[in-house]
Amino acid sequence: MAVALSFAAGFVDIVGALKIFDLFTAHVSGTTVRLAQRLVEHRWGEATAAVTIVCVFFGASLLGRVLIESAQRSGFRRVASITFGIEWLLLVCVLVIGTTRLSDASPPHAPTAITYLLLAMLAAAMGLQTASLTRIGPLTVHTTFVTGMINKLAQVTSLWIFAAYDLRFGRDHSRDPALVELASTNARKVRFLASLWILYVVGAASGTLLTAREQFAALYWPCGILLAVIIVDQRRPLSIEEEQEQAE
């Protein structure tokens, strides 16, 4: 689920930058840096677009967490279907509006009212996705926040290296089942976190290629992924996994 959503996030991120305006709606760190740059350069329209992305991303992420917390308190298990359903609806709106209002035109040099609207909807979609899937087992997972995932990958890789070293060279540790399990667990975490980054890159590459050919219709691909995620959530609610981890 996480790697599929990471692919979708990379895909959506690049589609927005290529077709709407040269700002990222999932990579908010980069958009924040652009905000500072545009403010210094007195480029107020572009600064406003960046502020819109950051504020809407925050608001949508907050909304997602409020919905999830409220659902947990009421015992509703399939809240992820609601948040991903809203995300799907937002992407469909971007697809329709972008196709009818922007057509095949290149992104404008200065933001327009349509630009602000479309960027806000993409940022809301990414904020909801960030809130909807945050924990898998003992790991904190953000499918739109690859900087944090690379940092976590470095941390887990370090733990794996030391566990592997102790197994190979440590005194009286070679037969310790706990150490063997620790090394194996960290190796799995390394593979998983690396796959998140790889799928984000693959998603962005796929978005670049398909946007050049299909324009806004390329968003059918992440929409399809979201529908698949919703179907899975109906069969095995994602909130159960998160509740168990929080309880531990």
- Rounded to the nearest 5 degrees, what angle is found at the Cα of 208, between the Cα atoms of 200 and 216? 110
Tell me how crowded residue 12 is: count the other CB atoms within 10 A of its CB.
Answer: 31
pLDDT tens, N- to C-terminus, the chain (248 residues): 899 999 999 999 999 999 999 999 998 999 999 999 999 999 999 999 999 999 999 999 999 999 988 988 898 888 899 999 999 999 999 999 999 988 666 777 788 999 999 999 999 999 999 988 775 555 677 888 888 889 999 999 999 999 888 888 876 655 678 888 888 999 999 999 999 999 999 999 999 999 999 999 999 999 999 999 999 999 988 765 554 444 43
Domains and CATH numbers, the chain: 2-247 (1.20.1250)
What is the three-class DSSP state of 111? coil
- Rounded to the nearest 5 degrees, what angle is found at the Cα of 216, between the Cα atoms of 213 and 218? 60
Q: What is the pLDDT of residue 247?
A: 42
Give yes or no for a contact between 46 and 34, defined as CB atoms under 8 angstroms apart.
Answer: yes
What is the three-class DSSP state of 142? coil
Q: What is the pLDDT of residue 29?
A: 92
- CA 196 vs CA 29, 142, 217: distances in Å: 18, 9, 25
Q: What is the pLDDT of residue 174?
A: 59
Give yes or no for a contact between 54 and 118, defined as CB atoms under 8 angstroms apart.
Answer: no
Using alpha carbons, select from 233, 235, 234, 220 the residue that is nearest to residue 88: 220
Q: What is the pLDDT of residue 63?
A: 95
Alpha-carbon span 102 to 216, nearest angstrom: 9
Alpha-carbon span 10 to 136, nearest angstrom: 20
Q: What is the pLDDT of residue 171?
A: 65
Tokens of 60: 């949508």
Q: What is the pLDDT of residue 138?
A: 55
Tell me how crowded residue 67 is: count the other CB atoms within 10 A of its CB.
Answer: 19
Alpha-carbon span 122 to 76, nearest angstrom: 27
